[in-house]
């Protein structure tokens, strides 16, 4: 029953993320030529995470992102069973959010779907991998200690805003396979044919972040241990 509560929380969080954040991108026609919509879209992704972190964070940890969940799995902060449950419900939440957004948006809307940077698969993979690495690294760091709990939601939300500010001109910024999959399934066309990029790259970025964080956190622990012994 506790697991189901966590999965439902992840469904709700990802639903809200797609509806509100992708919805902001879709309804304001986010583009570099419209700085207002560009900033609003970046902020909306971050603000949704802040809102969800302080509402469902105490239930599921507010991953709302398979890339974050895979980082947590590799870091041994969640079980394989919960990882699968989280990813399934995150994808279902994203699809539900995209369905509602489709009902509200004008016909032919891209629903905030991601797109390849200048049609280049390698470039898009690299961009998304780097953006996700930075984001998941921030998540792992700020959730590593309980005394960071009061500010974790704000830090994570601002980190997501940060990667969007850079990433929107390139790919629209995914860093979240579920967020990309939901709109792509409904939009179809190029969005659907290239969605694998926005699934693979964020997962790789999340794995890299977990590996690097384990390395640097381990080094820090070793250093502290050595300092303690010297004393």
Number of domains in the chain: 1
17/208 Cα distance (integer angstroms): 24
Q: Which pLDDT band, with edges at 50, 70 and 90, does 230 fall under? A: very low
Give pLDDT, residue 34: 80
Q: pTM (2 decimals)?
A: 0.93
pLDDT in tens, 82-136: 999 999 999 999 999 999 999 999 999 999 999 999 999 999 999 999 999 999 9
Give pLDDT, residue 155: 97
Give pLDDT, residue 226: 47
Position of tokens 């939440």? 93
- 3-state helix, strand, coil split of the chain in percent (to 5) is 80, 0, 20
Position of tokens 């629209």? 172
DSSP line for 147-213: GGHHHHHHHHHHHHHHHHHHHHHHH-----HHHHHHHHHHH-HHHHHTTTHHHHHHHHHHHHHHHHH
The domain that holds 124 is classified in CATH as 1.20.1080.10
Contact by Cβ (8 Å): 156, 53: yes
pLDDT in tens, 172-217: 999 999 999 999 999 999 999 999 999 999 999 999 999 999 999 9
Give pLDDT, residue 30: 81
Residue 162, domain extent:
2-230
pLDDT of residue 220 exceeding 80, the answer is: no
Position of tokens 């780097």? 130
Q: Between 134 and 221, whose confidence is greater?
A: 134
């Amino acid at each position: 029953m506790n697991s189901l509560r966590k999965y439902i929380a992840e469904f709700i969080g990802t639903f809200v993320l797609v509806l509100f954040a992708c919805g902001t991108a879709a309804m304001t026609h986010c583009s570099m030529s419209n700085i207002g919509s560009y900033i609003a879209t970046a902020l909306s992704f971050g603000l949704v995470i802040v809102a969800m972190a302080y509402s469902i964070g105490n239930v599921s940890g507010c991953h709302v992102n398979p890339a974050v969940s895979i980082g947590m799995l590799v870091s041994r902060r969640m079980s394989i069973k919960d990882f699968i449950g989280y990813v399934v419900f995150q994808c279902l939440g994203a699809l539900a959010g995209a369905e509602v957004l489709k009902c509200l948006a004008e016909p032919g809307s891209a629903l905030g779907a991601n797109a390849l940077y200048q049609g280049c698969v390698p470039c898009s993979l690299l961009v998304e991998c780097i953006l996700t690495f930075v984001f998941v690294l921030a998540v792992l760091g700020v959730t590593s200690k309980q005394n960071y709990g009061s500010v974790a939601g704000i830090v994570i939300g601002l980190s997501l805003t940060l990667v969007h500010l850079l990433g929107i001109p390139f790919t629209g910024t995914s860093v979240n396979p579920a967020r990309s999959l939901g709109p792509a399934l409904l939009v179809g066309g190029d969005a659907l044919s290239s969605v694998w990029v926005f699934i693979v790259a964020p997962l790789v970025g999340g794995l890299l972040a977990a590996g690097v964080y384990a390395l640097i956190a381990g080094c820090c622990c070793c250093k502290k241990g050595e300092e303690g012994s010297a004393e």
